Amino acid sequence: MKISVILDQIDLGSMALPEFQRGYVWNREQVRGLMDSLYRQHPVGSLLVWVTRTETAQSRGDQSLPPGTVKLLLDGQQRITSLYGIVRGRPPHFFDGNAKVFTGLYFNLESETFQFYMPLKMKDDPLWVDVSTVMQEGIAKFMNRLMTLEEMGPRLNDYLNRLNAIDMVKNIDLHIEEVTGEDKTVDVVVDIFNRVNSGGTKLSKGDLALAKVCAEWPEARDEMKKRLDKWRRGGFTFRLELLLRCINTILTGEAMFSALADVDRETFEDGLKRAEKRVDSLLNLISSRFGLDHDRVLGSRYSLPLMACYLDQRGGHLADFRERDKLLYWYVHSFLWGRYAGSTETVLNQDLEIIEEPEGALDRLIERLRQNRGDLRLHPGDFAGWSRGARFYPLLYMLTRAWKARDLCSGVELSSHLLGQMSRLEVHHIFPKARLYEHGYPKSEVNAIANFTFLTKECNLEISDDDPAEYLERYAAKHPGAVESHWIPMDRALWKVENYRDFLAARRELLAQAANDFLQSLVAGAVPEQAEAPPVVERTAEAIPGGIGTREEEDLLIEVNEWVVGQELPEGEFLFEIVDEATGAPLAVLDLAWPHGLQPGLSRPVALLIDEGPETEEAANRAGYRFFSDPDEFRAYVRRDILALDETQEAAQ
């Protein structure tokens, strides 16, 4: 079927998008690549549609469907959406994404390259033509413009042929495979979709459950996204599936999404409202009590469905501060020991069964954790991990907030009520990285959790790379008790860089003691120990691949980052951690990354990895990053694909 006919069918409603499909996720590089392939008449793959009766179709968007049958697009959404946006100059009615991704695509008649509009480069240059205008108005407009330019004479015929090749993209035939038959239910079709998309992201059970909900309440997805947007503005980014799981546990007391199969629209709407209130309460509680005020330090977000269910069972109100703190005690231990890091649904169902009987529910939850661990006390070895992705990183942040650690420079408590750009808390290396690298310490020790504390941005800048033996002494005298409030050992010999490993050991002891004291204060009395608890082995966190290894490497990354900023592009993030979205477990640390792309929302995530092993590169690739190991290749990519500079302009730079 010709591309133009496919687009006409979308306008008529005879081809639509099934409700279970995700939104539009392509970036500008993919859109440009598609158009380049079509222009050169390279194959771009076939489409797969599900032919089903209109009255039972569950499609996205608010356009009415024609009577009879409708073709629901299973495979090819990204390609067809991109083409619709380029040809029509607007997104289709079922669109859910960033329309700027396919807006403003231009073609150079001389170099035969596609680029997105850049005023300084393309304005008043007749060789740059707007692709959407060619598609909508034909080549006559451009032909007249080119014919008035004398210098175009020798090449005019070539340029007209190229304009015509762009216009003729609409007439390219795309092969369409059809899935038909009365036996093709939503469940069967989703299975087919997953098989076809085996190389991409499969639909989850949550997607299928939501598709069934949207069949009865089409606005469900948008209503849920409104809640997610609200929490995102507050610093907490959650997946839609997490909110759906909270709704599920509240309405059904079950973890499996199949439990939502018989939930009607009215009940689901009520569940969404209740889930929003419960998650609001929990985030406010965790933020105010612990100071865990953004998602990077939240810990186990998959504890929220259990906690939301528990809170909803009690009408949204906990009995008193004892119940509140006992629930928080369980929450902290759930993320310290990775309660939901494995089979989330299986473990969550076990815990939901535990709280079915309200009396003593929290005690039973805590007892279950203790049975699994043998001991809930923290030990110095628990703080032997490194990087900001370690599970004990949120605990350190929590202790700093909740136990009134004081800013070294001002002596003011680092409470959760500090406001302002220069007062927000930043991670601070007690022993500066530069000094440790100069003395030959490996990156796993440089970025050890026990070398972290938190200070205001202003204080972090003030200390900079000062020798800890000097600045700790200075602030100990200026603000008595401030240094100790960070659980920093006061033996001055440990403040010397040559004794750094002894410092780490001593601070781990202090952190373990502080953490145990704080957690025990959350419960009404000590949690009783089992009579025959198994012996506790010193636990150490698994090393996370990646990270900056030498001072030379760090200097190089800083230089590249400054160069990027000099191109009026966003600053990258150093030591950016990739985590498992489902469990929060750290997967790798990227040296320098732009997680939202160098053109946020328009280009794919990108990273610069210096002297990293295959584990880090594989993790970056799985997370959708385009990565470079050579700074010069990275700069070339920025000039060519982001700034869209030609060879002459590159040389001038």
| Residue 544 included in any domain | no
Do residues 109 and 234 both lie within one domain? no
| Residue 41 included in any domain | yes
329, 352, 373 - which closes a domain: 373
Do residues 324 and 409 both lie within one domain? no
| Residue 105 included in any domain | yes
**Would you say 443 and 548 are in contact if contact means Cβ atoms under 8 Å apart?**
yes
Convert 493-529 to b/e letters by CB count within 10 Å (16 or more is b). Answer: ebbebeebeebbebbbbbbbebbeebbeebbeeebee
Tokens at residue 522, please? 């959350």
Do residues 110 and 20 both lie within one domain? yes
Could you count the other beta carbons within 10 Å of the beta carbon of residue 383? 28
Do residues 458 and 428 both lie within one domain? yes
What gap in Å lies between CA 117 and CA 126, rounded to an integer?
13
What length does the chain have? 653
Do residues 10 and 63 both lie within one domain? yes
| Residue 186 included in any domain | no
Domains: count for the chain: 4
**Residues in the chain where the model's pLDDT stays below 50:** 198-201, 389, 416-417, 419-423, 524-542, 584, 647-653
Helix axes 321-336 and 392-402, enclosed angle (nearest 10): 150
| Residue 541 included in any domain | no
| Residue 398 included in any domain | yes
Do residues 361 and 428 both lie within one domain? no
What contacts 24+ positions apart, CB below 8 Å, involve 483-486?
483/408, 485/403, 485/404, 485/405, 485/406, 486/400, 486/405, 486/408, 486/430, 486/453
Q: What is the largest CA-CA distance in the chain?
A: 96
What are the residues facing 637 on neighbouring strands? none
- Domain residues for the domain of 259 are 204-373
Do residues 351 and 446 both lie within one domain? no
Do residues 18 and 143 both lie within one domain? yes
What gap in Å lies between CA 130 and CA 117, rounded to an integer?
8
Do residues 222 and 314 both lie within one domain? yes
Do residues 132 and 216 both lie within one domain? no
373, 401, 419 - which closes a domain: 373
Res 37: pLDDT? 95
Do residues 595 and 615 both lie within one domain? yes
| Residue 190 included in any domain | no
Amino acid identity of 635?
R
Non-local CB neighbours of 200 within 8 Å, separated by 6+ positions: none
Do residues 516 and 592 both lie within one domain? no
| Residue 183 included in any domain | no
Tokens at residue 194, please? 């997953």
Number of H helices, E strands in the chain: 26, 13
Res 150: pLDDT? 61
Res 525: pLDDT? 39
Res 417: pLDDT? 45
What gap in Å lies between CA 17 and CA 21, rounded to an integer?
7
Radius of gyration of the chain (CA): 29
Instruction: Write the burial class of residue 143 (CB in 10 Å: 0-12 exposed, 13-18 middle, 19+ buried).
Output: middle
What's 630's DSSP letter? S
Non-local CB neighbours of 267 within 8 Å, separated by 6+ positions: 251
Amino acid identity of 38?
L
